[in-house]
Structure 1
Amino acid sequence: MSYVVLPDALSSWPCPRQVSPYYKEVKAELDAWVHSTKILDEKAQKAFDKCDFALLASLCYPRLDREQLRVAGGLIMLFFVFDEYTDKVDSEGVEKYVNMVVDALEHPGVALPEGLPCDLREFTRQFWLRAVSVAPLASQNRFKKTFIEYIKAVTFEAQDRHDNNIRSIDNYLQLRRLTAGGFPALFPLDLAVDISDEVMQHPSLSALNGLFAESLVLLNDVYSYNIEQASGHHAHNLVTVVMHELNIPIQDALEWIRCYHVECLKRFVTLKDTLPSWGSAVDQNVQRYVEGIAQEIRGVDTWCFESQRYFGTNGRQVQHTRVVALLPKVGADVATPMMVSEVVATAQQVVD
Structure 2
Amino acid sequence: MNSHYETAKVAAEQWLNSYDIDNIEKVKKAQFPLLAAVGHCTADAKRLYVLANYYQWVFIYDDYFDNGKWSKSPEDARHAADLTINVLRDPETFTKTSFLPADMLRSFMLDIRETATERCQQRLVKHFQNFINAAVEQVINRSKDIDLSINSYTKLRRETGALSSVLDLIQYGLNLDVPDEVLHNSTMKKLALYINDICCWANDIYSFNIEQAWGETHNLVIVAIREGRSVQESIDFVGDRVKERFNAYVSEKEKIPSWGSKTDQDIATYLAAVEQWAIGFLHWSFATERYFGKSHEEVKKTRVVTLLPRKKA
Whether 2:189 is the aligned partner of 1:202: answer no
1:232 to 215, 224, 230: 215
Q: Is the 8 A contact 1:61 1:69 kept in 2?
A: yes
Whether 2:281 is the aligned partner of 1:300: answer yes
Larger RCO, structures 1/2 (Cα 8 Å, 6+ apart) = 1
Q: Is the 8 A contact 2:202 2:239 kept in 1?
A: no
Percent identity over paired residues:
29
Matches within 5 A, 1:185-334: 185-191=166-172, 192=174, 193-233=176-216, 235-245=217-227, 247-332=228-313
Task: Find the aligned partners of 1:27 and 1:324 in 2 and give their Cα distance.
Answer: 30
Match of 1:66 in 2: 45
Task: Find the aligned partners of 1:163 and 1:202 in 2 and give their Cα distance.
Answer: 38
Task: Find the aligned partners of 2:160 and 2:75 in 1 and give their Cα distance.
Answer: 17
Shift of 1:118: 7.9
Task: Find the aligned partners of 1:279 and 1:271 in 2 and give their Cα distance.
Answer: 19
Task: Find the aligned partners of 1:69 and 1:136 in 2 and give their Cα distance.
Answer: 16
Match of 1:27 in 2: 9
Of 186-195 and 218-227, more deviation after overlay is shown by 186-195
Per residue, is there more helix in 1 or in 2? 2
SS in 1 for 2:146: coil
Task: Find the aligned partners of 2:92 and 2:232 in 1 and give their Cα distance.
Answer: 51
SS in 1 for 2:163: coil
Match of 2:62 in 1: 83
Task: Find the aligned partners of 1:280 and 1:59 in 2 and give their Cα distance.
Answer: 28
Deviations 1:300-333 (A, max 9, x none): 111111011011121111111101111122324x
Structure 1's unaligned 5+ residue stretches are 1-18, 333-352
Structure 2's unaligned 5+ residue stretches are none
Task: Find the aligned partners of 2:213 and 2:87 in 1 and give their Cα distance.
Answer: 35
TM-score by length of 1: 0.84
Q: Is the 8 A contact 2:38 2:284 kept in 1?
A: yes
Q: Is the 8 A contact 1:108 1:125 kept in 2?
A: yes
SS in 2 for 1:63: coil
Q: Is the 8 A contact 1:112 1:118 kept in 2?
A: no
Matching residue's letter, 1:205: M
Match of 1:57 in 2: 36
Matching residue's letter, 2:43: L
Q: Is the 8 A contact 2:80 2:99 kept in 1?
A: no
Q: Is the 8 A contact 1:160 1:236 kept in 2?
A: no
Match of 1:105 in 2: 88
Shift of 1:119: 3.1
Whether 2:120 is the aligned partner of 1:139: answer yes
Task: Find the aligned partners of 2:218 and 2:181 in 1 and give their Cα distance.
Answer: 35
Shift of 1:49: 1.0
2:159 to 147, 165, 178: 178
Deviations 1:68-124 (A, max 9, x none): 2112112111211212333332221111111111111111211536xx888333211
Deviations 1:143-191 (A, max 9, x none): 1111101110111110122223221100110111111111111122121
Match of 1:14 in 2: none
Matches within 5 A, 1:1-20: 19-20=1-2
TM-score by length of 2: 0.94
Matching residue's letter, 1:151: I
Whether 2:76 is the aligned partner of 1:93: answer yes
Whether 2:142 is the aligned partner of 1:161: answer yes
